[in-house]
Amino acid sequence: MITLAGRRNAGKSSLINAIAGQGVAITSPTPGTTTDPVAKHYELNPLGPVTFYDTAGLDDDGEIGRLRVAATRKVLMRTDVAVLVIDEKGLSRSDHSLIEEVRALGLPVVVAFNKADIMKPDEADTRWCEEKGITYVAVSASSGTGVDALKTQIIESAPPEMREDPVLAGDLIREGDWVVCVVPIDLAAPKGRLILPQVQVLRDILDRDAIAVTVKEREVKDALTNLAKPPALVITDSQAITSVAGDVPDGIPLTTFSTLFARYKGDLGELAAGAVRMDSLQDGDRVLICESCSHHPVADDIGRVKLPRWMRQYTGRTLEFDVYAGHDFPEDLEQYALAVHCGGCMTNRREILRRIRECRRRGVPVTNYGIAISKTQGVLERVMAPFRHM
């Protein structure tokens, strides 16, 4: 996700058109043409498919204007690369502070001095960028000059995870290995199907030319007894980890779907370190439960009921829990001793990594549901062991 922001009329929409090579965004000499963030999908190789966001001008005013600016800022803060489009007015003081703010979030910024066909970037502005180590490009949406250089700068500034294909389970198994997947079929399981993370892991095992055996937790022992050779790995749903850990002999590597996904979608090391911080929680500490999508809470809801119960039992502390659903963290994130994020099944890797980065920046340890469950059940070390040699 790449966002173009800047003052009204700076040429944001024109630049998106120039990058995508098509007239998708409406442009006009009238300031305030773009009013809402507009997504444009584009194949930006070698990054692959990316989404460019065209936004409303950051200098929009009036009551509606301020709402538009807020919407632009929201998109900007969730992006992977911020492109600040500047026109002949040059870098303003608010551009300076916006750049600083975005960089403090760990987001790369590229400054595009647009309209290079009619003016050269101001020297004081390019010097400021150089002093701050900010990448800039002189570009013209009208003539096309510098558009390729801008694309290159965006690609080079993009966080590495936009370039890498994350691994799920493939590196933990070899061709011909047996892998046992444990999928409890309880009331929380959707009717008539498996959930996406389970399907993805099964697909990964097949891609690896390995052999997947899928069982409910009751059949684990039976499966292990009847396999011709011990499985290379057992992967269980986190909620069955206690019984499965009891049934799988110590010599057999065991992990959970959540642990695989914590690595695939986030930063396993950071999330495991966050879970370990549970050991130093004190009475009265507040714990933030974050869900990236809002769902209707069910009885015995994992985030609202089970995790708080298990964490209280495990730590023996009186802990306060707040549940927060949505795209952003609460303003007062700093008051929490620990943040426990959902698995993010509806969220992509970049968004999860952005959230982990934000927690790190704000000094709040972060873990996720699955890793936290393993910690409270005393099996964190065991489910992490298959990744130790990586």
Burial class (CB in 10 A: 0-12, 13-18, 19+), 118: exposed
**Cα distance between residue 131 and residue 137, in whole Å:** 15
Residue among 28 and 152 whose Cβ is closer to Mg ion: 28
Binding partner selected for residue 374 from Mg ion, ligand GTP, none, CB under the kind-specific 5 to 8 Å limit = none
**Residue 169 near residue 235 (C-beta atoms within 8 A):** yes
Q: Given the complex with ligand GTP, which of 60 and 270 has the nearer CB atom? A: 60
> Which residue lies nearer to ligand GTP by CB, 137 or 373?
137
Task: Check: CB of residue 38 under 8 Å from CB of residue 114.
Answer: no
**Which is closer to ligand GTP, CB of 13 or CB of 153?**
13
Q: Which does 318 bind (CB under 5 to 8 A by kind): ligand GTP, Mg ion, none?
A: none
Q: How far is the CB of 105 from ligand GTP (least distance, A)?
A: 23
Nearer to ligand GTP, 28 or 94 (CB): 28
CA distance 350 to 293: 16
Closest approach, Cβ 55 to ligand GTP, in A, equals 8
Applying CB under 5 A, among 13, 114, 239, 374 the residue interacting with Mg ion is 13
What does the alpha-carbon distance between residue 6 and residue 114 come to, in Å, rounded to a whole number? 11
Closest residue to Mg ion, judged by C-beta, is: 34
Q: Which is nearer to Mg ion, 60 or 204 (CB)?
A: 60
From the list ligand GTP, Mg ion, none, which binds 72 (C-beta under 5 to 8 Å, kind-based)? none
Q: Which does 122 bind (CB under 5 to 8 A by kind): ligand GTP, Mg ion, none?
A: none
Tell me the number of residues near Mg ion by CB under 5 A.
3
Shortest approach of ligand GTP to residue 11 CB, angstroms?
Answer: 3
Question: Does residue 34 interact with Mg ion by CB under 5 A?
Answer: yes
Q: How far is the CB of 37 from Mg ion (least distance, A)?
A: 11
CB of 19 to ligand GTP, least distance (A): 12
CB-nearer residue toward ligand GTP: 10 or 19 = 10
Distance CA 187, CA 142 (A): 59
Write down the least CB distance from residue 96 to Mg ion, Å.
22
CB-wise, 73 or 360, nearer to ligand GTP? 73
| Chain length of the chain | 390
Whole-number minimum distance, CB 130 to ligand GTP, in Å? 22
Q: Which two tokens stand for residue 32?
A: 């305030």
Q: How far is the CB of 62 from ligand GTP (least distance, A)?
A: 14
Task: Using CB under 6 A, list all residues that contact ligand GTP.
Answer: 8-14, 27-29, 31-34, 56-57, 114-115, 117-118, 140-142
Q: Which residue minimizes CB distance to ligand GTP?
A: 11
Of the pair 144, 284, the CB lying nearest ligand GTP is at 144
- From the list 12-20, 90-98, 159-167, 365-373, the region that binds Mg ion by CB under 5 A is 12-20
The Cα–Cα gap between 239 and 258 comes to: 10
Report the partner that residue 359 touches, choosing among ligand GTP, Mg ion, none (CB closer than 5 to 8 A by kind): none
Query: Could you tell me which of 26, 52, 374 has the C-alpha nearest to residue 382?
Result: 374
Binding residue for Mg ion, selected from 2, 3, 10, 33, defined by CB under 5 A: 33
3-class SS string, the chain: CEEEEECCCCCHHHHHHHHHCCCCCCCCCCCCCCCCCEEEEEEECCCEEEEEEECCCCCCCHHHHHHHHHHHHHHHHCCCEEEEEECCCCCCHHHHHHHHHHHHCCCCEEEEECCCCCCCCCHHHHHHHHHHCCEEEECCCCCCCCHHHHHHHHHHHCCHHHCCCCCCCHHHCCCCCEEEEECCCCCCCCCCCCCHHHHHHHHHHHHCCCEEEEECHHHHHHHHHHCCCCCCEEEECHHHHHHHHHHCCCCCCEEEHHHHHHHHHCCHHHHHHHHHHHHHCCCCCEEEEEECCCCCCCCCCHHHHHHHHHHHHHHCCCCEEEEEECCCCCCCHHHCCEEEECCCCCCCHHHHHHHHHHHHHCCCCEEEHHHHHHHHCCCHHHHHHHHCCC
Instruction: Quote the least distance from Cβ 356 to ligand GTP, whole Å.
Output: 32
CB of 160 to ligand GTP, least distance (A): 30
335 is in the binding site of which of ligand GTP, Mg ion, none (Cβ under 5 to 8 A by kind)?
none
Residues that bind Mg ion (CB under 5 A): 13, 33-34
